Structure formats: structure tokens, C-alpha cells
Amino acid sequence: MRTQVVIIGGGPSGLLLSQLLDKNGIDSVVLERKTRDYVLGRIRAGVLEVGFVDLMRKAGVAANMDAHSFTHDGTIIAYNNEQFRIDFTKHTGTPVVVYGQTEVTRDLYEAREVMDGKIIFNSENVQIHDAETNAPYVTFDAGNGEERIDCDYIAGCDGFHGVSRPTIPDNIRRDYEKSYPFGWLGVLSETPPVNHELIYSSSDRGFALCSMRHENLSRYYIQVPLSDGVEKWSDDAFWDELRRRIPQEFADKLITGPSIEKSIAPLRSFVSEPMQWGHLFLCGDAAHIVPPTGAKGLNTAASDIHYLYNAFVDFYRNNNEDGLKTYSNRALARIWKAERFSWWMTNLLHRFPDQSGFDLKMQRADLEFLRDNEAAQRVLAENYVGLPY
Ligand code: RFL
Ligand code: PHB
């Protein structure tokens, strides 16, 4: 088999790239290790930057998003019983869009199907060969023995645990990492959201976030120790703890119900440089991870896809390799800013096990400065709605 671009990973990054390439007449094959249902079963991101929304539009997959998403002009920041609001639209002219990663991925799968896009599910033992040459190829086994696809380029969109990043030799790759001493316990429930905008809450008992998917589907998170397992948290225990961590006004009107999904995610900051090696390009979680506090994971994946698909279009249409050559530097320049913002939001709002009295005072001063200072609010708003591509 031969194609122009082999895409490893059928998550949002890989699907968006294959859809955008197809729209521009560039042929690709997506190799996904799991099944479509498995990929759609993962409950992850909920907040999209306008840059992401624009890409969905360019990819021709905006119809459901336009019909069913919410536009949010701001967010509430709470600490203990106090709260203030950051107005994104006032400070930046731009809102964010609340639409789930599950829905984004489903819409992309449907669009790929309509366009007859080639996605090979259950692709085991994917291996990248000769990526540093002009004739790379990929081998895999999707149940019919080893198969081979020859290609011009390979896009590694296979997430944090994929094969693409480790293919880049150790003497070329440098990883930067920070892990945090806590995780997020997330619950999805078929209940109306407690507020029409998100609430990021820093309480003495730890961080909490109130988010949503639609009018009758809420997504809530609380910071928990890494040693906690999901089984430790009954639904009742979760709701009680959430109520204690958000301002009384919201605790009083929180509507609870059975959880339909409950999981714990560790928090990590991670960047691998460079994001290109020969004819292999890394995108999304394959190259970088942010803690979810700034809602940047999926959005940074989208900016990578923006740079890469434009570079491919320029190469195949105009025989111009500049975009491909500069991909890693351009993508990383934006990634590091999103890493900084996510790290800062995480430090601002969480309780750390070894926090001293001084550290707590600094956190409080940071929050009160943000509450009182328009320039600080604007900085948060600019980062939250997404820095320009
Ligand atoms: P994914 O989604 O991990 O998809 C990678 C795909 O590659 C497949 N794969 C392989 N396929 C073939 N061969 C192999 N060897 C393979 N290894 C892996 C996998 O099966 C999978 O289908 O990476 P991608 O596409 O780069 O997308 C990244 C996003 O999923 C991620 O950044 C976000 O979910 C992060 N994130 C958030 N991002 C936001 O922008 N806004 C948010 O509000 C937000 N909230 C979150 C989040 C992530 C969370 N968790 C659980 C990590 C909230 C949470 C709780
Ligand atoms: C979500 O709705 O899942 C969500 C929203 C905002 C975040 C992280 C997760 O910062």
C-alpha cells in the first residue's frame, strides 16, 4: 500500500489532520490501535479556543458544533467563599466554545466516513521505519499479519503513550517534565450544570472545577491525592466534597445525580523537543502534555495540526518545504506559552502537600491581585481564549 501521509493515532489530532489534508487533496491513512467506540468512550476536554473552532470549520465538520455548543464569555474564579469573574469577551473580543472532545471526535469520524477516509482500527505493533530518509514506511498488524504502507511523511498523533515519540533517537530528543503531587477525580452526570459558566475554585480543601457538556450533562472535578483510587470515592462522597469546595451560593443549588463516568487523571507538564525528525512529525499529546487546569491540551493539539496541515499543503501544492522545515520551532514557540499558562493556573488554584504558610499567602495575594487588576485579568483572558497561531 502507498499513501502520501501515514497518520498514527485516530484521536482528535489524527482525525483532524486527515480531514484537513483530504479537503486539500492530500491522501492519508490513519492507523488506530483501538476501536472507534473505545476512542469515543474517553471523556476528556470540554473547552475549545476559537482557533480550534475555525479549524473544525475549515475541515467542514462544524454543523453539530454550531448547533449544540455553548459560547462562554467568561468564567468564575472562586476562593473559599469569595468569587470574581473574568470577562473574556470584554478583554479580548473573543469567547470560548464549550463542546466536548467526545463530540468533536464523533463529528470527525462521521466526516471521515462520508469522505471515505481510510482508518485502520485495531492496528497493533505499529512501527516506523526509515523516518530519517526520503522513503519512510510503516508496518502494522490489524489482524491479517504484517502489512506495510510506504509514504512521503508520517504524522505521529498517537498520544502520550504512542510509538512515534520513542522512535526519535535519545541523542536527538530532549524531554522536559514536571509532575504534580495530585490528580483530578472527574465525574460526568446527567444533571443541569450548577452555573451557566465554568467555576474554577481554589478552596482550603483543594481545587474544584464545575464544567458542563450541555443543558443536562455536567462535568465536575476535584483535586485528590495521587494515592486515591476511584473506588474510594462513592458518588455521595464526591458530591459532599465538591459542595465543600465551592462557594455556598453554588453548593446550595448544586443538583446531584448518579455518575455516568468517574475517573482519576494525573496532572503532568511535559514537552519533547524537537517535534520533527526527518520525515516524522509529532502532534498533540505525542509531543506535549499540560495539566488540564488551563483547558489547553486539545487546543495545543489543534495548533500543531494548523501548522502541519498548512505546511503539507504548501509542500504538495507549491513544492515549498519551508513550513515543514520550520514546523517544530513554530509549534514549540506556542506550546511553551500554553505550558506556562497551564502551570501557572495549576499553581494558582491547587493545594500542594508541602505548601508553607508563606506559599499560601503568595497564592492568596496572586488571587487578590487578579481579582482587583484589569491588566492581570486581561492576561488570563488572552491566554485562556488562546494565543494567536
Ligand atoms: P489522544 O486523544 O491521546 O489520541 C491518541 C490516539 O492514538 C492512539 N494510539 C495508537 N494508535 C496506533 N498505534 C499506537 N502505538 C498507538 N498509541 C496510541 C490512541 O488509541 C488514541 O486514539 O491524543 P491527541 O489526538 O493528541 O489529543 C489530545 C487530547 O486528547 C488531550 O490533549 C486533551 O484531552 C487534554 N484535555 C483537555 N484539553 C483541552 O484542550 N481542554 C480541556 O478542557 C481538557 N480537559 C483533558 C481535559 C484531558 C484530560 N485527561 C483525562 C487526560 C480533561 C482531562 C480529565
Ligand atoms: C472539562 O469540561 O472537561 C474541562 C473544562 C475546563 C478545564 C478542564 C476540563 O480546564
pLDDT tens-digit series, residues 259-309: 999 999 999 999 999 999 999 999 999 999 999 999 999 999 999 999 999
Alpha-helical regions (H) of 279-356: 297-318, 322-349
User: Is the minimum distance from the CB of 301 to ligand 1 under 6 angstroms?
Assistant: yes
Which pLDDT does position 41 carry in this prediction?
Answer: 86
In the block, cell 498548512 appears at 310
Choose the catalytic residue: 12, 72, 307, 350: 72
Domain at 5-72+96-177+268-345: CATH code: 3.50.50.60
User: Is the minimum distance from the CB of 16 to ligand 2 under 6 angstroms?
Assistant: no
Counting from 1 in the atom list of ligand 1, the atom nearest the Cα of 265 is 51
User: Is the minimum distance from the CB of 295 to ligand 1 under 6 angstroms?
Assistant: yes
CB 53 within 8 A of CB 66: no
Element (H, E) at 77: strand 74-79
Write down the pTM of the prediction: 0.97
Q: Quick check: helix, strand or coil at residue 283?
A: coil
Bond before 274 cis per omega within 30 degrees: yes
Segments of the chain scoring below 70 in pLDDT: none
Q: Ligand 2 centroid vs 213 CA: distance in angstroms? A: 10
**DSSP, residue by residue, 128-182:** EE-TTSSS-EEEEESSSSEEEEE-SEEEE---TTSSHHHHS-TTT-EEEEEEEEE
Q: Choose one of 298, 306, 385 to mutate for the ligand 1 pocket test, by most ligand atoms within 8 angstroms of C-beta.
A: 298
What region does 21 belong to: left with phi over 0, alpha with psi -120 to 50, or beta? alpha
Counting from 1 in the atom list of ligand 2, the atom nearest the Cα of 43 is 3
Distances (CA, A) of 356 to 38, 41, 201, 232, 361: 43, 40, 20, 28, 9
Return the ligand number nearest the Cα of 160. Answer: 1
Q: Ligand 2 centroid vs 333 CA: distance in angstroms? A: 24
Q: CA-to-CA distance for 312 and 28, rounded, in angstroms?
A: 11
User: Is the minimum distance from the CB of 262 to ligand 1 under 6 angstroms?
Assistant: no
Q: Choose one of 43, 47, 75, 218 to mutate for the ligand 2 pocket test, by most ligand atoms within 8 angstroms of C-beta.
A: 47
Q: Quick check: helix, strand or coil at residue 216?
A: coil
Phi, psi (deg, nearest 5) at residue 55 = -65, -40
Considering only CA atoms, which of 275, 364, 281 is closest in space to residue 315? 281
Q: What's the distance, CA 40 to chain centroid?
A: 14
Among this protein's residues, is 384 annotated catalytic?
A: yes
Q: Choose one of 70, 101, 128, 179 to mutate for the ligand 1 pocket test, by most ligand atoms within 8 angstroms of C-beta.
A: 101
Sketch the domain layout of the chain as residue ranges. 5-72+96-177+268-345, 181-267+351-385
CATH 3.30.9.10 fits domain 181-267+351-385: yes
Among this protein's residues, is 137 annotated catalytic?
A: no
Among this protein's residues, is 327 annotated catalytic?
A: no
User: Is the minimum distance from the CB of 292 to ligand 1 under 6 angstroms?
Assistant: yes
User: Is the minimum distance from the CB of 219 to ligand 2 under 6 angstroms?
Assistant: yes
Q: CA-to-CA distance for 200 and 197, rounded, in angstroms?
A: 10
User: Is the minimum distance from the CB of 193 to ligand 1 under 6 angstroms?
Assistant: no
User: Is the minimum distance from the CB of 29 to ligand 1 under 6 angstroms?
Assistant: no
CB 248 within 8 A of CB 84: no
Which pLDDT does position 43 carry in this prediction?
Answer: 81
Q: Ligand 1 centroid vs 359 CA: distance in angstroms? A: 32
Among this protein's residues, is 200 annotated catalytic?
A: yes
CB 58 within 8 A of CB 71: no
Residues 266-275 as b/e (b if ≥16 CB within 10 A, e otherwise) read ebebbbbbbb
Cβ-Cβ contacts under 8 Å for 305 (sequence gap 6 or more):
13, 16, 17, 20, 55, 283, 284
Considering only CA atoms, which of 187, 294, 291, 195 is closest in space to residue 242? 187
User: Is the minimum distance from the CB of 49 to ligand 1 under 6 angstroms?
Assistant: no
Return the ligand number nearest the Cα of 212. Answer: 2
Q: What's the distance, CA 232 to chain centroid?
A: 27
Among this protein's residues, is 176 annotated catalytic?
A: no
